[in-house]
Structure formats: C-alpha cells, structure tokens
Structure 1
Amino acid sequence: MIDTLVVDDDFHVAEINARYVSRIPGFRVVRQVHDAASALAAVRDGGIDLVLLDHYMPGEDGLALTRRLRLQRTDVDVIMVTADDRPATVQEALRAGVLQYILKPFTFAGLRRKLEAYARLRTALDTTDLNQDDIDRVLGTLRACSPSDAMPKGFAEQTAELIRQVVARAPAPVSAQEVSEAARVSRSTAQRYLKFLQERGQLHLTLRYGAGGRPEHHYSTR
C-alpha cells in the first residue's frame, strides 16, 4: 500500500483529490493538510510514501517545500499538482526532484494514469539488480501513460479503459479470448487493445504454454 499525503490550500480541492486517490487500488490517503508547514510536519512524523503537493500555497510554495524535503533527505516522493503551466516552473520542479507534474484541472482518469505509472516505477525499482533494459523500462514508466498522450488512430479511450478494467478485475492473468467474452468485443479487438495497453505500460504480458507447446499470451495489471 502506498501511503499518500494530500496537500492543497483549498479544503474542497484537497477533499476531492483525496477521494480520487482513495479510489485507486494500492493507494491510501493517510492525511490531508493545507500548508507547507503542516505538510513538513506530517512527513517528519513518518508513514508517508508519496506527497501529492499543491504549488500555490500561503507562506511557502510547493517547490520550496520540495527543496526542503530533499535537503533533509526525507524518504518521500513528490507529485506536483498545480495550475502553473510556465515552462520555467516545470523545469524547476524537475530539478527539485518532482516525479510527476499534473496540471489543474485534471480528471480522475488522468490522475489514475499518473499514479498507476508511479506504482509501476516503485515495483520496478524493488529489485537488487538492474540491467540497461530494466533501467530504460523504469525511466519510461512515468512517461508511458501521460494524459497528454493522444490515442492513436483506430483506438478509443473508452474501449481501452473497458479492456483495462476487465483485466484489472480478473483474479489471474487472462487471455484475449477471456477478455473478448468479458468485454463483449471481438477477439481481434481485444488482442489489439491488449497489445496497445501492454506497450503503453498499463498491462503486464506473460506467456503460458498449452498442451500443443504453443505460447499463449496472458495479461494482468500486476
């Protein structure tokens, strides 16, 4: 479980963001605070893995807080949430160690994609040895599901989300045929979307060998 601190000076926005985060499997909101001082105190108390951090706040802004967290070597990750779309601010955030930069307003689907990519990053780094391919894949996880990524021609966001949810709800890795039946789409459509989601980093592919010795593709979100 990824324990998350939600920081926003607007109480209403903080509550909405907290509800969004709580709906995403694997994430748990442990606290909501509304200024940098309270956020710093919460991090010092421990038990926080991720800070979903507003930038514009009274007193100290999100970037300044992020720099303080890094100087104090606190073991937390930061995802910035802000309406500031200036390139200079984005650059400063990246240099400060922000892993993701999410522009307000955003949708639940957009936030979920970011957080799921972050969760995959944590999983990928939970190993003792990495080769170059592993490192390239790790660095690509945060980019794989950016909300700004346009759906390629011939694909629909709604169908992709339907296929992803079918796989996510399955208790074990599923085949294209099983997804086809559950989603009520043709097998060829299921195959196309499964491959697309796997290449995008949202699904994990495993091979199973049947009685005939031919590998069967199975997909999961884990």
Structure 2
Amino acid sequence: MIDVLVVDDDTRVARVNAAYVERVPGFRIAGQAHSAAEALLRIEELPHPDLVLLDHHLPDESGLAVVQEMRRRGHQIDVIMVTAARDLATVRTALRQGVLHYLVKPFSYAGLRDKLEAYADLRRALDRGGTAEQTDVDLIFGTLAAGAVPDLPTGHSPATAELVRRALLNAEGSLSAQEVAAETGLSRQTAQRYLKLLERSGQACLTLRYGDAGRPEHRYVWSTRA
C-alpha cells in the first residue's frame, strides 16, 4: 500500500481529497494536516508517508517552503502539488524542487485518480531495479513512444495505458483483465478499463472464451495492425 499524507488549509477540502485517495486501489491515508508546521510535524511523527498531496496556499508557509524544509531535513518523500496556484513561477519552482505532479484546483476524482495511478506506475517501474531500456526511461519520465496510445480521454493515465499495452505486446497469447492486472500490478477494474480503451482505438482485439456455463470470458490480444 502507498501511504499518503493530505495537506490542505481547508479541512473540508482535505477530507474530500482524503476520501478520493481511499477510493484508488493501492492507496491509503496516513494522516491529514492543515498548515505547514502541522505537515512537517506529521512527517516527523508518522511512519514516513510515501507521498504528500500538498496544497501551496497554507496559513503559515507556502507548500513549496514545506518541500524545501522536508528536503533540508533529509526526507525524500514524493510530492504531488494540489493547489489553485496557477502562476508559472510557482510551477517552475515546484518542478525544480522535484515535485512529481502538479494538479490545479478545482479537480475531479478522475483527475486525482489519473495522477495517483501514474505515480503508482512510476513506483513499480523504479522498484523493478536493474538496467533500463529507452522505453523504460520513457515510461518513468511519463513520455511514451510517439503514437503508442494516442488521444487518451480525460482521467486516463498515459503511463497506465503503456503498462497495459506492453503486457499485451509481451504476451504469447490473449490475456484476460485479471491476467493483465496480475502482470502489471493494477486492479482488475483498472486493467479492464484500459483494455476497453485499447480495443476502441483498434490497438487490441477482443476475443471470447466460452466455458461450460455462464458468461464468456473476455480476452484481449494486441492487434497486428497497431
């Protein structure tokens, strides 16, 4: 599980964001904070969270000041900014301080789920260890090979789509959503959603396997035309 600390000066917004996080498979809330000082205290007190969802506009210090102080104290915790701050100076500073994603308020559950799934993909890619091919580096940095999964609908993660695409490409035969989930570490529901997306784009072909009884099993294979 990926433990998340939610930091927002608005307690209602913090509760909503925490509820969103809990809906994404593989994530759980480690705590909430409503100021920079409280955020730093939670980081020291809690078993270190893996990820901080961090607002920029806090009552005592900025979110970026929190990131800077975290780094000064030696905490290499990952950060996703969730903020109404839209000025490019703030975005540039966040990038230079190693913030992984930047989500502008207001956002939907799908928008946050997209960022969290991409973050989970990043962790899986890095946790594999060993050496990296260019395609692995592209995935880690969130830049896919040109044309791999074009025109993704809102709320879909390119990195997640690439994981599913590569699972199909590497398979010796067709795969079910459950098998893709086991191969990629995604939930079955997420794997099914991206398999349907690839099918609609013509990059995957749907086949049906009939058993002795009940509904046929949906299985997917990479299209030779893709």
When normalised by structure 1's length, the TM-score is 0.68
Pairs within 5 Å for 1:1-222: 1-45=1-45, 46-133=47-134, 134-140=136-142, 152=151, 170-173=177-180, 191-193=199-201, 195=203, 217=221
Deviation per residue, 1:31-52 (Å, 9 max, x gap): 1110111111111122310000
Residue 75 of structure 1 aligns to a residue in which SS?
coil
> What letter matches 1:9 in structure 2?
D
Tell me, in whole angstroms, the C-alpha distance in 1 between the residues paired with 2:153 and 2:67. Answer: 37
Tell me, in whole angstroms, the C-alpha distance in 2 between the residues paired with 1:50 and 1:42. Answer: 12
In the comparison of the two structures, how many residue pairs are matched? 175
Taking structure 1 as reference, are residues 93 and 156 closer, same or farther at Cα in structure 2, changes over 3 Å only?
A: closer
The sequence identity of aligned pairs, in percent, is 47
- Return the offset for 1:28: 0.2
Tell me, in whole angstroms, the C-alpha distance in 2 between the residues paired with 1:188 and 1:98. Answer: 32
How big is the alpha-carbon RMSD for the aligned residues of Structure 1 and Structure 2?
3.4
> What letter matches 2:141 in structure 1?
L
- Where structure 2 has 5 or more consecutive residues not aligned to the other structure, the ranges are 165-175, 182-188, 205-219
Taking structure 1 as reference, are residues 190 and 50 closer, same or farther at Cα in structure 2, changes over 3 Å only?
A: closer
Tell me, in whole angstroms, the C-alpha distance in 2 between the residues paired with 1:94 and 1:156. Answer: 25
> What letter matches 2:50 in structure 1?
D
Native 8 Å contact 2:111 2:155 kept in 1: no
Deviation per residue, 1:65-101 (Å, 9 max, x gap): 0011112221310101111110111001111111111
Native 8 Å contact 2:111 2:154 kept in 1: no
Taking structure 1 as reference, are residues 194 and 60 closer, same or farther at Cα in structure 2, changes over 3 Å only?
A: farther
Native 8 Å contact 1:49 1:75 kept in 2: no
Tell me, in whole angstroms, the C-alpha distance in 1 between the residues paired with 2:101 and 2:79. Answer: 7
Taking structure 1 as reference, are residues 188 and 54 closer, same or farther at Cα in structure 2, changes over 3 Å only?
A: closer
- Return the offset for 1:194: 7.3
